[in-house]
Structure 1
């Protein structure tokens, strides 16, 4: 392809974040005086490779995001779209909105992961050529058991062949758009973007991600996040 790649970002903030407590969804809660979602948005804004960014957010919280972005304008931000009732539908809504930006490559990121390493995001872009996707991941270090429905241990998984998927994840725009359009139509229920590309037979590789790339899920995660942020960004 002639010329530099056109890179866009889809940030998914569709979940309400009930497990994290509080009245606001976790992406909008303040951490060290800054809305959690803004940490990731600013990291992508610092990448010259990224031309545009759009956020999928619940309809009832679009005004909240708009207020945040009015106070913190970013070069790459092109607005928000209404997220769906599942992660997949939120991702698809964001991908459809990104069509107007004509990207070659899209990075998809969960808003609940505020610590984005610019170096790792660039490593994804470097790893992508020749594949249908590249994701950040971390090797499994804990013992992982398969368990029964009645809480009995059954067998230990071989963690040597297991990784924990992180975000951002990178894909050729057309590949991921087709994967989500097809997957949603077929009723496939994947838990990340790579699962939709793999569902249609795409080749996806992984790149080692930092252990600081935590997903803020529970209330105690906010204290951990503050400690990581005070210790310096990756």
Structure 2
């Protein structure tokens, strides 16, 4: 059985409003609902675990009633950090389960079904995969002295989600003590000693963080 853990703990501060960014409407539908709909489109059998801070759950439930949102999911409480939020979601996956579990940002509603499929298919083979896209801008490295120099952009990739793993691998990796180097789930698994494979993402799979991102989202809709 396969799972997706959708992490939505943003406070929306960079959006400049009081409503957390995952609840803002895009094309009349809250961002988080669009994200969940995309994974349900990939597979109605995929088990969805939604991780939300306790303080946001009542508002989320009211949105679900308002929009008659009926995609099935399991709700988990958000943690102190993303790492701890994923731990809380992962705890709802039975320990003896085989399969693939993905972790996805709740504010990435435009991940393509094709990208999702590539991630799950590769994870079944290699155990750990992230979707990436090429860097198209020139990249410069800034050292500790403030001196910068150009680096070859073809050696770099921009990382997206869902990041997908063998369930047993991610559970074992998440038993490690937390450290500040855990910037995403791939870094947790890499710290555990497992190689990360790369698959093609899709450029529309942007993370909605700023008001400008929301304008882009409306254009994509």
- TM-score (structure 1 length as normaliser): 0.87
| Cα distance change, pair 149–67 in 1 and its aligned pair in 2 (3 A) | farther
Moved more, 137-146 or 96-105: 96-105
After TM superposition, the structure 1 = structure 2 runs for residues 95-110 of structure 1, keeping only pairs within 5 Å, are 95-99=90-94, 102=97, 104-110=99-105
Partner of 1:126: 121
Structure 1 match to 2:190? 198
> Which of these residues, 57, 60, 66, is aligned with residue 55 of structure 2?
60
Shift in Å at residue 97 of structure 1?
Answer: 1.9
Residue 29 of structure 1 pairs with residue 24 of structure 2: yes
The TM-score, its normalising length taken from structure 2, stands at 0.91
Evaluate the alpha carbon distance shift between residue 136 and residue 73 of structure 1 in structure 2; reply closer, same or farther with a 3 A threshold: same
Please report how far the alpha carbon of residue 137 of structure 1 lies from its aligned counterpart in structure 2 after TM superposition. 0.7
1:45 equivalent in alignment to 2:37: no
Q: 2:12, 2:209 within 8 Å by CA — same for their partners in 1? A: yes
Contact 1:11 1:53 in 2 (8 A): yes
Does 2:77 match 1:77?
no
Q: CA deviation at 1:101?
A: 9.4
Counterparts of 1:69 and 1:144 in 2: how far apart (Å)?
42
Tell me: CA distance 1:18–1:100, structure 2 relative to 1, closer, same or farther (3 Å).
farther
C-alpha deviation, 1:94, in angstroms: 0.9
1:210 corresponds to which of 202, 217, 220? 202
**CA-CA distance at 1:56 after TM superposition:** 0.9
Paired residue for 1:116, among 97, 111, 119? 111
Distance 1:50 1:116, change over 3 A: farther
Q: Is 1:227 aligned to 2:219, yes or no?
A: yes
Is the 2:99–2:124 Cα contact (8 Å) retained in structure 1?
no
Q: Return the alpha-carbon distance in structure 1 between the equivalents of residues 149 and 174 of structure 2.
A: 33
CA RMSD of aligned residues (A): 1.9
1:176 aligned onto 2:170: yes
Partner Cα distance (2:126, 2:19) in 1:
38
Deviation at 1:178, TM superposition (A): 1.5
Unaligned stretches of 5+ in structure 1?
Answer: 1-5, 230-234
Q: Check the 8 A contact 1:136/1:207 in 2, yes or no.
A: yes
Question: C-alpha offsets along residues 32-53 of structure 1, whole Å, 9 cap, x if unaligned?
Answer: 1110111110111123364311
For this pair of structures, how many residues does the alignment match? 219
Residues 39 and 46, structure 2, Cα contact 8 Å, conserved in 1 = no
Could you tell me which runs of 5 or more consecutive residues in structure 2 were left unpaired when the two chains were aligned.
none
Deviation, structure 1 residue 103: 5.3
Q: Are 1:159 and 2:156 matched, yes or no?
A: no
- Indicate if the aligned counterparts of 1:135 and 1:165 stay in contact, CA closer than 8 A: yes
